Homo-oligomer: A and B are copies of this chain.
Amino acid sequence: MKIAILLYDNYTALDVVGPYEVLSNIPGAKIYFTAEKPGLYKNSNGIQISADFSLKEVEGPEIIVIPGGFGIDAILDNKDILEWLNSVHEKSQWTTSVCSGSLLLASAGILNGRKATTHWNRVEQFKKYPVEFVNERYVKDGKIITSAGVSAGIDMALYLTSLVVNENFAKLVQLALEYDPKPPFDSGSPEKAPREIMEKFKNSRNKKIK
């Protein structure tokens, strides 16, 4: 099973690696890190991940993963990427996104009239597209699954694994990743974060915040 994960400058690394770590367990999975040009792609905090395939080299992936990140805005009008995305989406079994990656799907027209989600801080921007925003951890509409911010890609990928293989296999993967989350705080969404944290967030809008 061919799984294409898009890279570009200034992706969010956990958007990429969360789904990678889960989906690569699917029997027969082969992951293709793909980008406009093969090479190393970094984000603003310094990690460099290799894109081993150009877009043209990745034909007919059964699963497509579009990660989010600050850099997403710079590729929302990129003709080559949009063309590739529309072409592979046509034949994919599953087209997915993490965080602000859903903006690229929206920009490609793939989400027109669809239910979908995104990072909570991108909702305003997301709603400018003809999309029905749903405030959930991940949203399935037909063969499209979008997920909320960054870490939500792990939950989405486990759900997708249960659809592609079966529930028991997805549980096996969850066990292997010891994904029994116990965050030390309960501040992972705007509804849960203390008001002072939300204020801080608004005042700290810089490169470091997705």
Contacts and interface: CB of A to CB of B under 8 A. Distances in A.
A188 interface: yes
A167 to B, nearest CB: 7
Total identical chains: 2
Interface string A129-159: 0000000010000000000111110110011
Interface stretch (A58-66, A77-85, A105-113, A195-203): A195-203
Interface string A190-210: 101110111011001000111
A175 B196 CA distance: 12
A20 interface: yes
Nearest to A24: B45
- 5 smallest CB-CB distances across A and B, nearest first, come from A149-B178, A180-B188, A171-B187, A24-B45, A48-B50
A136 to B, nearest CB: 9
Interface residues of A, number: 70
Nearest to A168: B197
Nearest to A176: B209
A177 B151 contact: yes
A31 B47 CA distance: 8
Interface string A158-183: 11001000011011101111111111
A201 B168 CA distance: 11
A139 to B, nearest CB: 12
A189 B210 contact: no
A33 interface: yes
A150 B179 contact: yes
A174 B150 contact: no
A183 B158 contact: yes
A21 interface: yes
A193 B174 CA distance: 9
Contacts of A167: 185
Nearest to A33: B47
Nearest to A182: B137
Contacts of A204: 172
